[in-house]
């Protein structure tokens, strides 16, 4: 299983909800086993830069690749990219 985790910060504070709402549309892509978009609680005093987190699980690399190749992925990226400042992504293989 592949865990796909992406962290975003909005360019402007008022864009946080627009970023979150835009990313929620990615949940309509059928290749993930689990898909969540959540606001960061910002309880860690060392890093409060991240506003929105996307967490998804995929059966394998093929399912993740199909997700990223879906037309809705490109559409969502084009809408969200101008609203975001930072984007950090990690794809990790789950161990047991």
What is the domain-level CATH number for residue 65?
3.30.70.100
pTM exceeds 0.75, yes or no: yes
Nearby residues of 37 by Cβ (< 8 Å), 6 or more positions away: 20, 23, 24, 26, 27, 52, 53, 54
In a domain, 95, yes or no: no
Structurally, the chain folds into a number of domains equal to 1
Q: Over the chain (96 residues), what is each successive 10-residue block's mean pLDDT?
A: 97 93 97 97 87 98 97 97 96 89
State the pLDDT at residue 96: 67
22 occurs within a structural domain = yes
- Predicted local confidence at residue 90, as pLDDT: 97
* Domain of 83, in residue numbers: 2-90
């Amino acid at each position: 299983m592949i865990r796909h985790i992406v962290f975003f910060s909005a360019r402007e504070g008022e864009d946080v909800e627009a970023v979150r709402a835009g990313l929620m549309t990615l949940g309509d892509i059928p290749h993930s086993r689990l898909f969540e978009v959540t606001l960061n609680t910002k309880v860690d005093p060392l890093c409060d830069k991240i506003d929105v987190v996307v967490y998804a699980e995929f059966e394998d690399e093929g399912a993740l690749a199909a997700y990223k190749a879906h037309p809705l992925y490109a559409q969502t990226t084009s809408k969200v990219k101008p609203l975001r400042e930072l984007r950090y992504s990690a794809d990790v293989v789950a161990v047991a």
